[in-house]
């Protein structure tokens, strides 16, 4: 069994396959294993209440959402049984439940023998698990947005599966992302979390030519704002905060207006795509025998909103392995 992608989805799938007596081969396009998980806050979570999950991600596939919501707690226990040690036993968010891990340790635990710098060959044969992390890089380039993710996830799973009869879900234009300081701010991978400009709910939002696009409501995660503002905007606020000062230190453009308010030049950044390949609850790609899609290569989970990409990777990685080995 070939597993393409050594992010959380691919690594979990391979670990479970080994546990079930199979010998997967894991290939990874990048120079390191861990995918975007390695750069992440590594909080693997679900909504506390399934109805809230549905309400927040209304266009997702209810069966897939139910699978992730119902399996996540056991999946986290499985991860712990392999030797993963949570650094938080809960998410510190009253809307959600889950665990936080150290992404470096989790990668070390799971990434045994991934073959690095080995992209999915276009003529790869089934059985195959696609776990290439969606097409964030491609979407960011098409829309002139920043990329806040591993630099390799560029739609390889779509390129492989669509010509062979797979189909995509709704929401191919949507992404999970954050609003970041716009260039010339320097954003290194280790700045992806601390430089997120997460105060959009209290900001007036202006376009570059001064049009007021402040939405009437901003969701708690501010992912809706990231999807709204486009390549550049200004966040105007009455007073500074830690994140603005971090942006200033990174070289962001911050102006003081005549009325004393601060205007921070910001840009939307793509972390991962929300649309993807249509899969069933065994993570099998619809219309394509012997091919599974795990993690954010699969669409239909967070459509219309925001949910944990790591939960999607963990549960679909397990589902793919178990279905193949059954
Ligand atoms: C800064 C940051 C913070 C985040 N915080 C959280 C959080 O706290 N909680 C949460 O749930 N989510 C978080 N996320 C999102 C989360 O990291 C992703 O949703 C998750 O890692 C997706 O897992 P994946 O395995 O599907 O894809 P990825 O992690 O993207 O892994 C895909 C892998 O496939 C490889 N690949 C790409 N193309 C090919 C190819 N052609 N052949 C072979 N390999 C290929 C890539 O190099 C990569 O290693 C965060 C992300 C970032 C960047």
From the list 271, 318, 308, 237, the residue with the least C-alpha distance to 18 is: 318
**Helix or strand holding residue 80 (H, E):** helix 62-81
Percent of the chain with pLDDT over 90: 98
Q: Distance, CA 134 to ligand 1 centroid (Å)? A: 8
What is the DSSP-derived secondary structure letter of residue 95?
T
**CA–CA distance, 102 with 202 (Å, rounded to integer):** 31
Pocket test residue of 99, 132, 180 for ligand 1, highest count of atoms within 8 A of CB: 132
Atom of ligand 1 nearest to the CA of 45: 11
What angle (nearest 5°) sits at the alpha carbon of residue 168, between those of residues 146 and 160?
A: 80
In this prediction, residue 134 carries a pLDDT of 98
**CA–CA distance, 213 with 325 (Å, rounded to integer):** 51
DSSP notation for 180-194: EEPTTS---GGGTTT
User: What would the two tokens of residue 256 be?
Assistant: 């003081």
In this prediction, residue 90 carries a pLDDT of 87
Average pLDDT of every residue of the chain: 97
For residue 228, give every residue at least 6 positions away whose Cβ sits within 8 Å of its Cβ, in sequence order, or none. 205, 213, 215
Report, as ranges of residue numbers, the positions in the chain whose pLDDT lies below 50. Answer: none
**CA–CA distance, 190 with 229 (Å, rounded to integer):** 24
In this prediction, residue 84 carries a pLDDT of 97
User: What would the two tokens of residue 284 be?
Assistant: 């099998």
Quote helix, strand, coil % in the chain, to nearest 5.
35, 20, 45
Around ligand 1, the residues with Cβ closer than 6 Å are: 4-10, 27-30, 35-37, 39-44, 119-120, 131-133, 148-150, 152-153, 156, 192-193, 271-272, 295-296, 308-311, 313
DSSP notation for 109-135: HH-SS-BTT-PPPTT--SSEEE-S-TT
In this prediction, residue 112 carries a pLDDT of 81
Q: Distance, CA 37 to ligand 1 centroid (Å)? A: 5
Atom of ligand 1 nearest to the CA of 196: 1
């Amino acid at each position: 069994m070939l597993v393409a992608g050594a992010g959380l989805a691919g690594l979990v799938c391979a670990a479970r396959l080994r546990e079930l007596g199979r010998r997967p081969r894991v290939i990874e396009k990048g120079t390191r294993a861990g995918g975007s998980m390695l750069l992440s806050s590594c909080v693997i979570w679900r909504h506390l209440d399934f109805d809230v999950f549905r309400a927040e991600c209304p266009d997702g596939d209810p069966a897939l959402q139910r699978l992730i919501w119902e399996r996540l707690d056991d999946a986290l226990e499985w991860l712990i049984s392999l030797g993963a040690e949570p650094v938080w036993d809960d998410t510190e968010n009253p809307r959600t439940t889950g665990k936080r891990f150290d992404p470096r340790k989790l990668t070390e635990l799971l990434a045994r023998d991934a073959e690095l710098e080995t992209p999915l060959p276009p003529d790869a044969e089934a059985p195959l698990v696609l776990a290439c992390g969606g097409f964030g890089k491609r979407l960011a380039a098409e829309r002139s947005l920043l990329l806040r993710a591993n630099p390799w996830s560029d739609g390889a799973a779509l390129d492989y599966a669509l010509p062979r009869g797979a189909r995509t879900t709704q929401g191919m234009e949507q992404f999970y992302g954050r609003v970041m300081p716009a260039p010339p701010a320097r954003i290194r991978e280790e700045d992806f979390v601390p430089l997120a400009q997460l105060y959009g709910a209290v900001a007036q939002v202006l376009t570059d030519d001064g049009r007021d696009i402040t939405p009437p409501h901003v969701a708690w995660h501010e992912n809706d704002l990231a999807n709204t503002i486009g390549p550049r905007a200004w966040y105007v606020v009455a007073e500074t905060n830690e994140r603005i000062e971090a942006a200033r230190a990174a070289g962001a453009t911050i102006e003081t207006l005549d009325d004393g308010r601060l205007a921070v030049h910001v840009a939307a950044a793509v972390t991962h795509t929300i649309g993807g390949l249509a899969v069933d609850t065994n993570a099998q790609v619809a219309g394509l025998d012997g091919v599974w899609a795990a993690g954010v290569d699969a669409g239909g989970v967070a459509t219309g909103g925001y949910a944990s990409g790591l939960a999607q990777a963990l549960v679909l990685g397990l589902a793919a392995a178990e279905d193949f080995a059954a």
